[in-house]
Amino acid sequence: MSERRPLDAVDRAIINRLQGGFPIGERPFAEAAGELEIGESDLIARLDRLLQEGFLTRFGPLYDAQQMGGGLTLAAIEVSESELEAVADQVNAHPEIAHNYSRNHPLNLWFVLATERPEQIAEVLSQIARETGLAVYDFPKEEEFFIGLQLQV
């Protein structure tokens, strides 16, 4: 991560506006830039800088794997603190892992798994269990709630 410069009014406008959706079209960056009254190349450069400087951790679409015919689940592992980073690396080596995080809980490594087909969930979780030598607990979604969180800067 490079050195952070302070956010200016345009950076704030970009972050605030793009949390609410990104245009779909032939030139989506040009369309979004027009709404923000800046140039397309300026928007792209600013997004790159915001990512490089750590103001944004990710910029991209969120897909509903289940709507697309895939599988999605939340899983957890109980792992010693001394092995947490190594096990997280093993988990992250699987392309199906969307993200993981540690929690202050006996099950201290949690991760989200998205697969092309629902039946692949059990396969990947079994493979992670074999690789780590640890029990992997599956917590499939029972009900979904849409919150629509937007953080204004």
> What architecture (CATH level 2) is domain 71-139?
2-Layer Sandwich (3.30)
Catalytic residue among 4, 27, 99, 130: 99
* Element housing 111 (H / E): strand 109-115
pLDDT at 2: 57
Domain assignments of the chain as residue spans, ordered by start: 9-52, 71-139
The predicted structure's pLDDT at residue 98: 85
Which parts of the chain fold into alpha helices (H)?
Answer: 9-18, 28-36, 40-52, 84-92, 120-132
In 43-108 the beta strands, taken as DSSP E runs, fall at 71-77, 97-102
The answer to whether 105 is a known catalytic residue is no
CA 59 – CA 101 distance, rounded (Å)? 19
Residues 52-69, mean pLDDT to the nearest whole number: 81
Tell me: the pLDDT tens digits for 6-26?
A: 999 999 999 999 988 899 999
Average pLDDT over all residues of the chain: 91
